[in-house]
Amino acid sequence: MPNGPPVSVRTRKPITDNRKPSSLLDPDFVRKLDLLEIIFRRNVVGRREGDRPGVQRGGRIEFAGYREYSPGDDLRYLDWNVYARTERLVIKEFTKQDAVLVCVLLDASASMAFGEPQKLFYAKRLAAALSYLALVGKNETQIGAFADGEVRWSPRFAGRPDIQGLAAFLDPVEARGTTNVLGALRSFSDRVAERSLIILLSDLLEDGEARRGLRLLGSRRFDLAVIHVLSPQELRPPAVGAVRLADGESGLTEDLTVDADALRLYADRLNAFCEGWRTFAERHDIRYTEASTATPFEECVLAYLRRGGLVR
Taking the whole predicted model, whether its pTM rises above 0.85 is answered as no
Asked if residue 2 belongs to a domain, the reply is no
Q: Tell me what the pLDDT averaged over the chain comes to.
A: 85
Task: Give the CATH number for residue 140.
Answer: 3.40.50.410
- What's the pLDDT at 98? 75
Residue 267 C-beta-side C-alpha neighbours within 13 Å: 12
User: Is 278 a residue whose pLDDT tops 60?
Assistant: yes
Taking alpha carbons only, the member of 81, 91, 114, 95 closest to residue 9 is 114
209 and 293 in a single domain? The answer is: yes
242 and 179 in a single domain? The answer is: yes
Instruction: For residue 12, name the pLDDT band (cuts at 50, 70, 90).
Output: very low
Asked if residue 201 belongs to a domain, the reply is yes
Q: What is the distance between the alpha carbons of residues 260 and 240, in angstroms, rounded to a whole number?
A: 10
User: Is 163 a residue whose pLDDT tops 60?
Assistant: yes
149 and 230 in a single domain? The answer is: yes
Number of domains in the chain: 2
Asked if residue 312 belongs to a domain, the reply is no
Listed range (33-47, 77-91, 191-205, 277-291) with the worst mean pLDDT? 33-47
278 and 158 in a single domain? The answer is: yes
User: Is 47 a residue whose pLDDT tops 60?
Assistant: no
91 and 186 in a single domain? The answer is: no
- What's the pLDDT at 60? 54
91 and 127 in a single domain? The answer is: no
Asked if residue 1 belongs to a domain, the reply is no
Instruction: Check: CB of residue 139 under 8 Å from CB of residue 102.
Output: yes
Domain that holds residue 74: 47-97
201 and 135 in a single domain? The answer is: yes
Q: What is the distance between the alpha carbons of residues 89 and 77, in angstroms, rounded to a whole number?
A: 10
Spell out a b/e string for 149-169, using b for 16 or more CB atoms within 10 Å of the CB, else e: eebeebeebbeebbbeebbeb
Instruction: Check: CB of residue 127 under 8 Å from CB of residue 167.
Output: no
* DSSP states along 25-44: S-HHHHHHHTT--BPP-SS-
93 and 233 in a single domain? The answer is: no
- What's the pLDDT at 42? 64
Query: Could you tell me where the DSSP H helices lie in the chain?
Result: 7-10, 27-33, 80-86, 119-136, 163-170, 181-191, 209-219, 232-235, 260-283, 297-299, 305-307
Asked if residue 89 belongs to a domain, the reply is yes
75 and 60 in a single domain? The answer is: yes
120 and 54 in a single domain? The answer is: no
Listed range (10-14, 67-71, 107-111, 259-263) with the worst mean pLDDT? 10-14
Asked if residue 141 belongs to a domain, the reply is yes
Instruction: Compute CA distances 249 → 177, 207, 246, 273, whole Å.
Output: 6, 12, 9, 19
Instruction: For residue 257, name the pLDDT band (cuts at 50, 70, 90).
Output: confident
193 and 56 in a single domain? The answer is: no
- Last residue in a domain, options 58, 79, 97: 97
Quickly count: other Cβ atoms within 10 Å of residue 312's Cβ. Answer: 10
